[in-house]
Structure 1
Amino acid sequence: MLAQSDSLRFLRLSNNHLSGKITPAIFCSSSLELLYLDGNNFDGNIPSVDISTFLSYSLIDMDLSNNNLSGELPRWIWNVSNLNALAVSNNQLKGLITMELCYLDSLNILDLSKNNFSGPIPSCFDAQSIKHLHLSKNRLNGTLTNAFFNSSSLVALDLSEN
């Protein structure tokens, strides 16, 4: 299968009319760095991947925005230590934004906007790497910590319409 190729580094299937569930095999390439599945009609949950067989530690950018994905973000995403950009905006994802997010030291861009995430905003955004944080149009609540205001790296912060 193409997605399991050991030489595939870049996969862009953006803005097509692809539909159905995202196959877990797409995340099992040992060399995949850039994955763009945005702007399709994929539905269902983001696949769970058995962490003991998960090979995509090389994944740097992942964009699953503008689909019909639902459920919670799977925990394996927070174990991809090289992740620089994660965009899952404009889906139907729900649940809490977990503190595991705080351990992604390479994360520069996080876009979880236009979903149904709820609960408090994690207080860990004092990480020096995060530059763009988009959490608008969810159901987030709570107080903003000083981490947002003390960050020397934060360029864009959008918490509107929560």
Structure 2
Amino acid sequence: MSHLCEMSIFKSFSVLSLSLASLILLSSSPQPASSECKEQDKLTLLQIKSSFGNPSSMADWSNNTDCCAWNGVNCGASSEEIIYLWITNSNTSNRIPPEVGDLPDLRRLIISNHPNLAGPIPESITKLQNLQQLIVRGTSISGDIPRFLCDMRNLNSLDLSANDFSGPIPACFGSNLYIIDFSYNQLSGHIPCTLFKGYGGNETILNLRRNHLTGRIPLSFSALNFYKFDLSENNFIGDASHVFGRSKFTEEIHLANNGFSFDLSSVTYPLYLSWLDISHNRIRGSIDEQITELQGLGILDMSYNRLCGPIPSGGMMRPYDQSSFVHNKCLCGTPLPPCAN
């Protein structure tokens, strides 16, 4: 399937596949407030509705009703402030209207599944200094990722996946961001070593899947506790062993389809690892027996590498089929042919 076809499918269903980080944040979304929203906020929302072509998802957005009860709008539990806005599913070919920056209390803004939406992200969005989560995904927005997003100091979750962004990842993103999803774009260049600098939490998520990124994983990432780490389908090279570690809380590591080259024998696996895909690289060495201690490991793919030695068994190790281990240098043992005596 061509890249364009895959992107089209991904964008069409992006509203059904919000990232895990998004779901975690959305699960704590407040209920509509008992007091009515501010009149100026209502007028702003109606302008936004018009700019998006009056989509069916906004059918209940009417001047005669309280905007705190509108679909995709949430207000604070005991106030009239609009703190959450989700705009989804339209065929508009317009741009994101600058009026989105006129909702000063907004903390979460999601614009998803607008495949014909073009143009840049408006700079007026920087007026939303209370914004913590920004999702703009499944659109045709192109160009560089705007550097002015770095000025939003309360922003901690940024999802720009499934768009047409190109150019480098801005080096200005610092410790305030701990969830970054730039997957399914056209980004190029290296991962800035300043990314996540100074952040010490355990919720870090980095998803850069399917871009045109190159270079090596910054050594500074060895100090980070990623929940999910996905660099699949890029052009990375070198060592990736420093994102592993027995004491880390990492649950997903995706490194497939790159040019990584390191000795897997020296790697210790995070105890909570549930998904490991290192396929289609140049990884050498053997598989340590410690992998049999991973109770939650469900998905495993080590195929198309240069691994050798017996495949560990027993313990918590599940019965994987051959596809998880094929096309290596000299791996042996179940589910591959037996090792030579």
State the TM-score, normalizing by the size of structure 2: 0.37
Write the distance in 1 (CA, Å) between the matches of 2:140 and 2:82: 26
Aligned to 1:23: none
Unaligned stretches of 5+ residues in structure 2? 1-35, 50-54, 59-66, 68-79, 212-341
1:76 aligns with 2:139: no
- Cα deviation, residue 141, structure 1: 0.9
Question: Of the two, which has the highest radius of gyration?
Answer: 2
Q: 1:119 is matched with which residue?
A: 167
**Residues 42 and 84 of structure 1: is their aligned pair in 2 closer, same or farther, counting only changes over 3 Å?**
farther
Q: How do 1:139-150 residues align onto structure 2 when only pairs under 5 Å count?
A: 139-148=186-195, 150=197
Q: CA RMSD in A?
A: 3.1
Contact 1:35 1:61 in 2 (8 A): yes
Kept in 1, the 8 Å contact 2:163–2:184? The answer is: yes
Which deviations, in whole Å up to 9, do the C-alpha atoms of 1:68-109 show, x marking residues without a partner? 322111111123111111111111111211221111111111
Cα offset for 1:150? 3.5
Cα separation, 1, equivalents of 2:173 and 2:178: 10
Q: What secondary structure, in the 3-state scheme, does the structure 2 residue paired with 1:82 have?
A: coil
Any gaps of 5 or more consecutive residues in structure 1? 21-25
Q: Secondary structure at the match of 1:100?
A: helix
C-alpha distance in 1 between matches for 2:156 and 2:171:
17
How many aligned positions are there?
A: 142
Q: Which has the higher helix share?
A: 2
Contact 1:18/1:42 (<8 A) preserved:
no
> Residues of 2 paired with 1:90 and 1:3: CA distance?
29
1:31 to partner: Cα distance? 3.2
Q: 1:113: Cα distance to partner?
A: 0.5
CA distance in 2 between counterparts of 1:123 and 1:49 reads: 28
What stretches of structure 1 move > 2 A for 4+ residues in a row? 2-8, 17-20, 148-151
2:83 aligned with 1:33: yes
* Identical amino acids, percent of aligned pairs: 31
Q: What's the TM-score once normalised by structure 1's chain length?
A: 0.74
